């Protein structure tokens, strides 16, 4: 399910909790000179609404590879008693290539997390943007390789992944996904095999100076390719009642990802969120 109505008070409380997490995240990055930038729906919400998209329930953060690895290193030692990290390196059952930095003592589980037995709290999502080829054909080859291995990684663990199409295309996609999941599970192919190959493709140009970076594991390929000169230097902009780092030319990123009409609200049947099956604010966020 792509969208489910929240109780308005619950959604507002969840968004407030995520702002509190962002405050700690931003402070950690400032302390260690880790450069981040908002991306995805967080960037769109920041530009269009100066905060959350009204129905949105998550936070998307981007980092280039070196900052991403530095963040993982310091976050565990700096806030290890208050926050946890889950990704495919810390838990082989985690089916996607990103990191969730979650507040311990809370619970946020969607249906997929429940089925996989993943214990995750209210979190922000951190995406790694890798160097990608300047040449169009080379980029296509790199991106398709990374995306394919990444999708096989998802299908090894999840039979009915989240998709962003409707009608007969959705039915066909889910049918094929279910069949692929059954085959991969029956063959007992380890998830880590797909993960390693996806990373190898994504990091193909790590030691090469390129003009662009990308997160290569979106549901639709090529939607998160961005010129480095459109990210850096990042700039602080208003997001709710705090200041977050945005790409310096965030509008170019948003136009590529969402189209030229990104400032217009989408119809209700095209609105997405990640409403959980289990949500517990714990003592830490009880009074928000």
Q: Give tens-digit pLDDT for 8-56.
A: 999 999 999 999 999 999 999 999 999 999 999 999 999 999 999 999 9
Q: What is the C-alpha to C-alpha distance for residues 16 and 92, in angstroms, rounded to an integer?
A: 31
pLDDT of residue 184 exceeding 90, the answer is no
Split at pLDDT 50, 70, 90, the class of 110 is: confident
**DSSP three-state, residue 63:** strand
Mean local confidence (pLDDT), 143-156: 93
Q: What is the pLDDT of residue 79?
A: 85
pLDDT of residue 225 exceeding 70, the answer is yes
C-alpha triplet 94, 256, 177: angle, nearest 5°: 35
pLDDT of residue 171 exceeding 80, the answer is no
Q: What is the pLDDT of residue 159?
A: 61
Bigger pLDDT: 231 vs 119: 231
Q: What is the C-alpha to C-alpha distance for residues 128 and 34, in angstroms, rounded to an integer?
A: 13
* Sole residue written with tokens 């063959």: 187
State the average pLDDT for the chain: 91
* Residue 230 burial (10 A CB sphere; 0-12, 13-18, 19+): middle
Bigger pLDDT: 185 vs 95: 95
Q: What is the C-alpha to C-alpha distance for residues 149 and 203, in angstroms, rounded to an integer?
A: 13
- Pairing label, strands 83-86, 235-239: unpaired
Q: Give tens-digit pLDDT for 114-147.
A: 888 898 999 999 999 999 999 999 999 999 999 9
The DSSP line for 98-146 is SEEEEETT-EEE-HHHHHHT----SEEEEEEEEEE-SSHHHHHHHHHHH
Q: Give tens-digit pLDDT for 241-273.
A: 999 999 999 999 999 999 999 999 988 877 888
- 8-state DSSP, 136: H
Q: What is the C-alpha to C-alpha distance for residues 177 and 158, in angstroms, rounded to an integer?
A: 8
Bigger pLDDT: 207 vs 165: 207
Q: What is the pLDDT of residue 1?
A: 43
Q: What is the pLDDT of residue 56?
A: 92
């Amino acid at each position: 399910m792509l969208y489910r109505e929240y109780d308005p008070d619950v959604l507002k409380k969840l968004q407030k909790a995520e702002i509190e997490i962002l405050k700690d995240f931003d402070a950690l990055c400032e302390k260690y000179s880790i450069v981040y930038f908002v991306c995805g729906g967080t960037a769109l919400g920041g530009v269009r609404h100066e905060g959350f998209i009204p129905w949105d329930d998550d936070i998307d953060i981007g980092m280039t590879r070196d900052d991403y690895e530095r963040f993982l290193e310091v976050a565990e030692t700096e806030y290890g008693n208050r926050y946890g990290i889950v990704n495919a390196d810390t838990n082989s059952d985690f089916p996607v290539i990103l990191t969730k930095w979650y507040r311990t003592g809370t619970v946020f589980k969607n249906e997929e997390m429940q089925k996989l037995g993943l214990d995750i709290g209210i979190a922000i999502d951190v995406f790694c943007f890798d160097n990608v080829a300047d040449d169009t054909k080379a980029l296509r080859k790199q991106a398709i390789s990374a995306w394919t291995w990444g999708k096989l990684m998802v299908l090894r663990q999840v039979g009915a992944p989240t998709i962003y199409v409707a009608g007969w295309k959705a039915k066909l996609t889910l049918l094929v996904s279910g069949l692929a999941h059954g085959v991969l599970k029956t063959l007992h192919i380890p998830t880590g095999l797909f993960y390693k190959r996806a990373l190898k493709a994504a990091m193909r140009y790590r030691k090469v100076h390129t003009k662009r970076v990308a997160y290569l594991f979106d549901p639709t390929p090529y939607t998160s390719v961005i010129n480095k000169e459109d990210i850096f230097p990042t700039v602080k902009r208003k997001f709710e009642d705090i200041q977050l780092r945005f790409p310096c030319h965030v509008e170019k990123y948003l136009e590529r990802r969402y189209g030229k009409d990104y400032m217009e609200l989408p119809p209700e049947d095209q609105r997405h969120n990640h409403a959980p099956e289990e949500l517990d604010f714990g003592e830490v966020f009880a009074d928000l």
